[in-house]
Amino acid sequence: VQLVESGGGLVQAGGSLRLSCAASGFIFGDYAMGWFRQAPGKEREGVASIGDMGTYYSDSVKGRFTISRDHAKKMVYLQMNSLKFEDAAVYYCAASGQQYYHARGPPYRRSEFDYWGQGTQVTVSS
């Protein structure tokens, strides 16, 4: 299994970035996909996820970030708009085999995800 993130970098506050995650080594359609982030000194937190049960967004990014997936390309994307200083973190792509764990919505907790990428750094400047 491989999850490879790309698209991170330095962006000014208020700007946009699009993260990508290339997935391989598992049946992509059988898994929900998610994006997590971890800032220095903080726990890894779920940002967004997508699966057969729909999409999930954390309150901190709702309305600004959009998660999407391309089954043909086995890719997952995170479009991040109106970036804030507090969005700066290492962003991780993750895959969950527990698509139907929740009655409503895709998995979103760290413990519900099975595979992880290495992460891509997002830095937000003034």
List Cα–Cα distances, 83 to 4, 5, 13, 62, 110, in angstroms. Answer: 22, 19, 5, 12, 23
- pLDDT band at 123; cut points 50, 70, 90: very high
Per-residue pLDDT reduced to its tens digit, 83-119: 999 999 999 999 999 998 888 899 999 999 999 999 9
In this prediction, residues 54-78 reach a mean pLDDT of 98
- At 33, which amino acid appears? M
Alpha carbon distance 102, 65 (integer Å) = 22
Quote the pLDDT of residue 101. Answer: 84
pLDDT at 73 over 90: yes
Quote the pLDDT of residue 76. Answer: 98
- What ranges make up the beta strands (E) of the chain? 2-6, 9-12, 17-24, 32-38, 45-51, 54-57, 65-70, 75-80, 89-96, 115-116, 120-125
In this structure, is the dihedral angle defined by the CA atoms of residues 108, 114, 117 and 118, taken in order, positive or negative?
Answer: positive
Quote the pLDDT of residue 103. Answer: 84
- pLDDT band at 8; cut points 50, 70, 90: very high
Per-residue pLDDT reduced to its tens digit, 12-43: 999 999 999 999 999 999 999 999 999 999 99
List Cα–Cα distances, 60 to 41, 63, 87, 97, in angstroms. Answer: 18, 9, 9, 25
Candidates 48, 36, 5, 40; CA nearest to 123 is 40
